[in-house]
Amino acid sequence: MHRPAAPPDLTAMTPEHPLSDDALATLAHRARQALPDAPPALLHAAFALWQAQPATAPLAAALRRVAAVLRFDSWALPPQALGMRGSADDSRHLLFSAEGRDVDLRITRHPGGGWSLAGQVLGPDETGQILLQPAGGQADGHRASLDGLGEFHLDGVAAGAWRLSLATADALVVLPDIDLGAPRLG
């Protein structure tokens, strides 16, 4: 006749006398029986309580600051002649470089008003945050996380001078100020 094993005595466990593998397996089995998984809706609600918090100002100040350089500006090219099917295009394409990273940025009018910034960070960083703050620093800004391809989108940005930065694990890459809504010269 087979008798079930007696529950392990946890008080007998010491660093010198650890529980056997069988005793640990028995405890794990009992825990799984006594502690069922939480319902998915409850797990989702619990995880939502702890959303990822943006980097705080002291942490951002501790990052190594890197200045990006403008490498390409589509507005520096002469405007194309308008044909019968052509139209004035106020979209803009900018390319910035900084220490092995390239930030490819496209600026277009947002259908709901304001401006849209869409871009991609090319380089060694797999994660990071894009920070868009007024150049004068007097108002709240916008924030976006890089997706798996290093892409980001910011919509409905008001016209004005803005400073775009990329916060990575070890650096804060600061791009030159961008003037959204300024007329194209030339």
Task: State pLDDT tens for residues 134-152.
Answer: 988 767 889 999 999 999 9
Per-residue confidence (pLDDT) for residue 124, from 0 to 100 = 87
Q: Dihedral angle at the C-alpha atoms of 44, 49, 50, 56, nearest 10 degrees?
A: 150
Across 13-19, average pLDDT: 78
pLDDT at 150: 93
116-153 exposure pattern, b = at least 16 Cβ within 10 A, e = fewer: bbebebebebeebbbbbbbeeeeeeebebebeeebebe
Q: Measure the N-to-C terminal CA separation of the chain; round to a whole number of Å.
A: 96
Residue pair 131/164 in contact by the 8 Å Cβ criterion: yes
Confidence at residue 60, expressed as pLDDT on a 0 to 100 scale: 54
Predicted confidence (pLDDT) at residue 106 exceeds the cutoff of 70: yes
Q: Which pLDDT band, with edges at 50, 70 and 90, does 179 fall under?
A: very high
Separation of alpha carbons 103 and 3, rounded Å: 68
What pLDDT is stored for residue 3 in this prediction?
A: 56
Instruction: Label residue 69 by pLDDT band (50, 70, 90).
Output: very high
Position 48 pLDDT exceeds 90: no
CB under 8 Å to 130, separation ≥6 — which residues? 119, 143, 144, 145, 146, 152, 154, 164, 165, 166, 167
pLDDT of 7: 60
Helix (H, G, I), strand (E, B) or coil at 41: helix
* List of domains in the chain: 11-49 (no CATH), 57-77+89-180 (2.60.40)
Q: Can you give the pTM of this predicted structure?
A: 0.62
41 vs 4: which has the higher pLDDT: 41
DSSP result, 113-155: SSEEEEEEEESS-SS-EEEEEETT--S--EEEE--TTSEEEEE
Of the chain, the percentage scoring pLDDT greater than 70 comes to 79
Considering only residues 155 and 27, tell me which one the structure prediction assigns the higher pLDDT: 155
Q: How confident is the model over 37-58, as a mean pLDDT?
A: 69
> How confident is residue 84, by pLDDT bands cut at 50, 70 and 90?
very low
What are the start-end ranges of the H helices in the chain?
21-34, 40-49, 57-62
Say how many C-beta atoms besides its own lie within 10 A of residue 5's C-beta: 10
pLDDT > 70? residue 39: yes
- Residue 132 pLDDT exceeds 80: yes
β-bridge pairing 178-180 and 160-167: antiparallel
